[in-house]
Structure 1
Amino acid sequence: MSAELELRHARVRYGPLEALHGVSLAAAHPGVTVLLGRNGSGRTTVLRALAGTVPLSGGAVVWRGEDVTRLAAHDRARRGIAFVPDRQAVFGSLTVAENLELAEPHGEFDGALDAYPELRPLLGRRAGTLSGGEQRMLALSRALLSHARVVLVDEPGQGMSAAVAARTYALLSVLPATVVLAEQRLPPPLRHSPAHRPVVVHELQRGAVVFSGEAGELPAPDGRATPGARRPGSSASCPR
């Protein structure tokens, strides 16, 4: 697996505050990359930088070997990057069906509705009246229908029941795409991944990467790193 999407020494500022301090990381195709960190760690900002919804103050975004740092978010979306933010990920004034039609104008929703059958009886409902978990299912369904090459999702299981969240992570783990997730903690379904398609983890603290490795190499609860874990600066930032 090769690097599909990269940040190279990326810096992002919100006014006088710098949210990312020269972050470098890569995501493989196909594969799952998880950005771990508490609120304020910079994980959401990394997603936004990759999607193009926040500008870099330094560094670069590289997609399939091309510098796309100055490419607008809507142009990245047209080329195949789907971004599901943690908030306002659906159009509340549109119905569920109308939201899905934005990704699949021919109304062929079966792929998404097979993944989330809970949405079938809600097709005529306005998206703004759905629960938080139902809105997450709808937003993810739009991403599935778009057949995006890159899927960026901020906390996909937010608001979902445990069963639906587990189904979601199982679905994302086998997508034929580059999947980048932002999470506070590593979801249990992603901790043990198949050897041919390992889940790569980048942990962020205060806008910097403090750990990079495969999910099974995460530091133990006592803080000691598991042998084989890669630290920032290692040349191996993609799956082996």
Structure 2
Amino acid sequence: MTISLRHARVRYGPLEALHGITLAAPARGLTVLLGRNGSGRTTALRALAGTVALSGGAVVWDGVDVTRVPAHERARRGLCLVPERQAVFGSLTVRENLELAGVARDFSAALDAYPRLKTLLPRRAGTLSGGEQRMLALSRALLAQARVVLVDEPAQGMSPGVAADTYELLAGLDACVVIAEQRLPPVLRGRTALVYELRRGTVAFGGEAAELE
């Protein structure tokens, strides 16, 4: 297992969002965190990334406790978080956003994945539609060649066809990929994917996608 939460607790003031949950994502492959709004799925992603602090438990990555390792250091070590909101720099152009991924000026992997971005390179990211911003955010994750990719609702705002391609893309990455969704996307049914269903900050189910069905 590449990255895991072990008996993790997270508090927002007096409210506890995660009640000692344990889950683990494999080194290569897709893990899906399911749950309604308020279930804790987004908080679990943020806890793995280090953008929220644990009030109890641990985050373990490749057998090492990284609970106290800050988010920027986890990113430097190969972890990439694509949040649901504010995932791109709106005042910068699409090209500048891609350049921030740190791969010189070779955007071929991103533009092959999302050809629509080719015509948008000079546009400011803040002027793009919601679906286009998701494409850009995911493209930056592709270019970063991260070992762990965490994505909150990856296909939000996308057309059904682009959404299906996005899930196929994420499932095919040579990385540990964890996505958070309200429901299991149809394109992932029948695929080999590890699924955790969260309810009110606890794990209600953990197993293969086919078992959930």
| Normalised-by-shorter TM-score class | over 0.9
Q: How far apart are the structure 2 equivalents of 1:124 and 1:64?
A: 39
**Alignment-derived partner of residue 205 in structure 2:** 211
Which of the residues 9, 16, 20 maps onto 1:11?
Answer: 9
Task: Name 2:70's counterpart in structure 1.
Answer: 72
Distance 1:20 1:104 in 2: 34
Query: Which residue does 1:133 correspond to in 2?
Result: 131
Structure 1 residue runs of 4 or more that deviate by more than 2 Å after TM superposition: none
The structure with the larger Rg is: 1
**Aligned-partner residue type, residue 142 of structure 1:** R
The Cα shift of 1:29 comes to 1.2
Determine whether 1:199 maps to 2:193.
Answer: yes
Tell me the residue number matched to 1:98: 96
User: Conserved in 1, the CA contact under 8 Å of 2:5 and 2:22?
Assistant: yes
**In structure 1, C-alpha distance between the alignment counterparts of 2:4 and 2:86, rounded to whole Å:** 26
Q: Distance in 2 between matches of 1:214 and 1:200?
A: 5
Alignment of 1:40-55 (within 5 A): 40-55=38-53
CA distance in 2, matches of 1:156, 1:208: 23
Q: CA RMSD for the aligned pairs?
A: 0.6
Task: Provide, for residues 80-135 of structure 1, a one-character-per-residue CA deviation record: whole Å limited to 9, x for no partner.
Answer: 00000000000000000000000134110000100000000000000000000000
Fraction of identical pairs, as percent: 73
Q: Which is worse superposed, 46-55 or 98-107?
A: 98-107
3-state SS of the aligned residue for 1:29? coil
> 3-state SS of the aligned residue for 2:167?
helix
1:206 and 1:5 map into 2 onto residues whose CA distance is: 22
C-alpha deviation, 1:189, in angstroms: 1.0
Counterpart code for 2:71: A
> Gapped runs of 5+ residues in structure 1?
220-240
TM-score when normalising by structure 2: 0.99
2:2 aligned counterpart, secondary structure = strand
Q: Please give the alpha-carbon distance, in whole angstroms, between the structure 1 residues aligned to 2:123 and 2:182.
A: 31
Matches within 5 A, 1:154-173: 154-173=152-171
Q: Which residue of 1 aligns with 2:107?
A: 109
Higher relative contact order (CA 8 A, sep 6+): 2
Farther off after superposition, 100-109 or 11-20: 100-109
- Distance, in Å, in 2 between the alignment partners of 1:104 and 1:11 is 34
Structure 2: distance between partners of 1:5 and 1:72: 15
Structure 2 alignment gaps of length 5 or more: none
For this pair of structures, how many residues does the alignment match?
Answer: 213
Q: Distance in 1 between the 2:194 and 2:128 partners?
A: 33
Mapped to 2, the partners of 1:61 and 1:187 lie a distance apart of 27
